[in-house]
Structure 1
Amino acid sequence: MRIEIWSDVVCPWCYIGKRRLETALSDFAHADEVEVVWRSYQLDPTAPRGESVSTLEALGARFGGPDQVRQMLARTQEMAAAEGLHFGDASLHANTEDAHRLLHLALDAGGASLQGELKEALLAAHFVDNRDLGDHAVLQDVAVTVGLPAARVDAVLASQEYADAVRADVEQARAYGATGVPFFVVEGKYGVSGAQPVETFTQVLARAWDDSHPKLDLVGGGDAEACGPDGCAV
């Protein structure tokens, strides 16, 4: 069973939603048969490349000033803490296209498992350690730490490789009708918008699994005469 997740590496609700999905999967009997693939989405594709400012400053200009943003961030930190995440106080606002291109590299190089490791590492770097994900040196360090070859990472960062894949992901999100992230698509059939409660993920996992593994409705009971592996009783 495949779950595709559209998110950004600087989206707090994406990190919180990730943890809630993981909690649901921890109690899902078929979790070892679930593949999670991360898709690209940029909250601010217009952010200048190679330049970073504090999240407080960037959001303050859009949401009523720094005091309003401090209240928003405090609420987000509280919600994150409930999921075992401890956000730092000095995150940076940056263009995330390069981070997404590396996530596509990870998927190609090591499959969904390696991509998942990189996604977690990038989220932690931004929210927990407050590192600058617009800085190529930071991206290179994070990517190499999870096992990507340094030479390939450098080559991707020095080019526009996978930029088309990032754009394709964004276009697919729009086609699905996603207006924000996180946005989860299960088996290409069920959409879940936002960092929903664990119970919602539990329900959609069970429903998608049952749909893809239908059970026969046995009519008439199972005690009529029949032949089995030991022969036929006559």
Structure 2
Amino acid sequence: MRVEIWTDIVCPWCGLGYHRLEQALARFGHEGEVELVHRSFQLDESARVGVTERVRDMLKSKLGLSDTQVVDMTRRIEQMAQADGLTPYNVLKNRVGNTSLAHEFAAWATELGKGKEVWRLLYKTYFAEARSIFDVDSLAPLATQLGLDATAAREAMTSRRYAGKVIADGREARSLGSGGVPFVVIDRKYGVSGAQPVEVLLEALETAWREKNPQKLVSVAGQSDAGICGPDGCEVPERP
């Protein structure tokens, strides 16, 4: 069974959603027969590479939120992540920017057999350590933590030879009906949007496993307030 997940590294719901997917797979009775494929999705392809801004400023500008609203929104995501065992999980104190180089770094590492490890490392670097993942100088040293060569990583990013793959991944997600991330697709039949609870993801995995001949992509119902990041930022729907 093939499970694909589209994410952007700076999307706080993506870090949480990926963590929950891993938890669901760990509880899934056929984890050893699942191919997990990471796909890239850039929330802001138009942003200048290497130029960043504070999360606070981005949310105020794109969503028109006040300082209090920004703090409340990001604090809630941080608290949810903590409740799921992700700590520290920095959202408000971080910066955002164009993530194309980080995705290209991930594509390079994945080609060398470090797909799962590189995504975990990027989330850890950004959310747990609140460090930059926006430029070659910040990303290249991470290669050594994967047991890979930092010089080769630098060359892969400066050559931009993985840029086309990153762009194609994003287009593919949109062709499947995604308007934001995280977005999980199982056997190209079941689509799960947002950072759904582990139980929802597990149910989707088990349903897909039972159906051997998927034909079309359908939506899997989940919690209506499961967070998702779109081009204009990450928003938590208001509770009634």
Give the structure 2 partner of residue 42 of structure 1.
42
2:110 to 102, 107, 110: 107
Letter in 2 for 1:157: M
Could you say what secondary structure the match of 1:195 adopts?
A: coil
Distance in 2 between residues matched to 1:139 and 1:67, nearest whole Å: 33
**Is the Cα contact below 8 Å between 1:92 and 1:126 reproduced in 2?**
no
What does 1:4-83 correspond to in 2, within 5 Å?
Answer: 4-63=4-63, 64-83=65-84
Could you say what secondary structure the match of 2:18 adopts?
A: helix
TM-score normalized by the length of structure 2: 0.83
Q: Structure 1's 25 and 39: CA in aligned 2 closer, same or farther, altered over 3 A?
A: same
Distance in 1 between residues matched to 2:117 and 2:58, nearest whole Å: 28
Q: Can you list the C-alpha shifts for 1:179-228, whole angstroms capped at 9, x where unaligned?
A: 11000011122111111111111111111112239xxxxxxxxxxxxxxx
Cα shift at 1:18: 1.1
Runs of 4+ in 1 over 6 A off after TM superposition: none
Q: Can you list the C-alpha shifts for 1:128-185, whole angstroms capped at 9, x where unaligned?
A: 1110111322211223311232232011121211111011111101110101100001
Cα shift at 1:99: 0.6
Q: Can you list the C-alpha shifts for 1:105-148, whole angstroms capped at 9, x where unaligned?
A: 122111xxx11111011011111111011132221122331123
Question: Is the counterpart of residue 169 in structure 1 residue 169 in structure 2?
Answer: yes
Distance in 2 between residues matched to 1:150 and 1:19, nearest whole Å: 27
Could you say what secondary structure the match of 1:158 adopts?
A: helix
Distance in 1 between residues matched to 2:59 and 2:46, nearest whole Å: 14
**Is the Cα contact below 8 Å between 2:136 and 2:158 reproduced in 1?**
no
Distance in 2 between residues matched to 1:92 and 1:143, nearest whole Å: 22
Letter in 2 for 1:187: D
Structure 1: state its 5+ residue gaps.
214-234
State percent identity of aligned pairs: 40
Distance in 2 between residues matched to 1:144 and 1:212, nearest whole Å: 41
| Greater C-alpha radius of gyration | 1
Give the structure 2 partner of residue 229 of structure 1.
none
Structure 2: state its 5+ residue gaps.
214-240
TM-score normalized by the length of structure 1: 0.85
Give the structure 1 partner of residue 86 of structure 2.
85
Cα shift at 1:6: 0.6
